Structure 1
Amino acid sequence: MSDQPTYDSVSVGDELPAVSYPVRRFDLIRYAGASGDFNIIHWNERIAKAVGLPNVIAHGMFTMATGGRFVTDWVGDPGAVVEYGVRFTSMVVVPDDDAGATVEISGVVAEKDDSSKTVSVDLTAICDGQKVLGKARAVVRLA
């Protein structure tokens, strides 16, 4: 996402182009180290399947962070995010191959608040045809 938006340059209904983010097992191991969440279902296929999962799954917070990355890449400034929230609606299943999984995220400007110069962006996150984040919304303050 090349040009950084300003408050005056965006309108309600503007669509943010979709971005595809690869998710591989290695990414999950790195995230586990950074977050301290070493739950075995995020890296061990045998255990994940033994507890009824289809395979290793990405951390929910990793998936949420991917949505946050989408927003901060668009805005160009992580400090511009005033509020961000999601609901987890489906798992990101990560096979043990070079391709892994792909999460595709897109957004639309849902609201503008003239008094605070903030913009609300509704996000859509899809993996393998399933919506993985619900009610995903970021509020950002634009110049």
Structure 2
Amino acid sequence: MLRVLAILALAVAITMAVQYNPGYVVVVYPPYRAELSLSLVIVMLLAVFFLAYGLLRLGAHTLNLPDEVHAFKQERQREKARSAMSEAVAEFAAGHYDKAENFAVSAIELGEDAEVNALIAARCAHQLKAFDRRDAYLAQVDKTCSDYPDTGMAG
């Protein structure tokens, strides 16, 4: 409400200032000549400024659009991976080892904490007595941990 009153007061003040402004601008481009009121020229210059500013902002936003789309897609993939990991943990806790293993594998493929999800999948495969899959998941954990020798997790 206060903003509306401030805008209306500003509009009234500008109208009163423009009404009593006797200045004019003469634009000459032979053979043409144009006389414009100073108030109209000021309004036109402001309009041109804001139009140019808007076009520059639109151009900058358009140039940044591919990066924003890429960031959006990456964030959406991270959300899917987090969701798959939380579903894997929930299904594992519920004792649904086949579903938990599938969710853990999905989370690994989406790039979410490969070590943790591989351990969940290995534990699920062990509970399902699929020892070959369990060993493959554990080998994946061992390979991932051996890539980071300073963590003390390898060997």
TM-score using structure 1 length: 0.22
For the pair shown, the structure with the greater C-alpha radius of gyration is 2
RCO comparison, higher one (Cα < 8 Å, 6+): 1
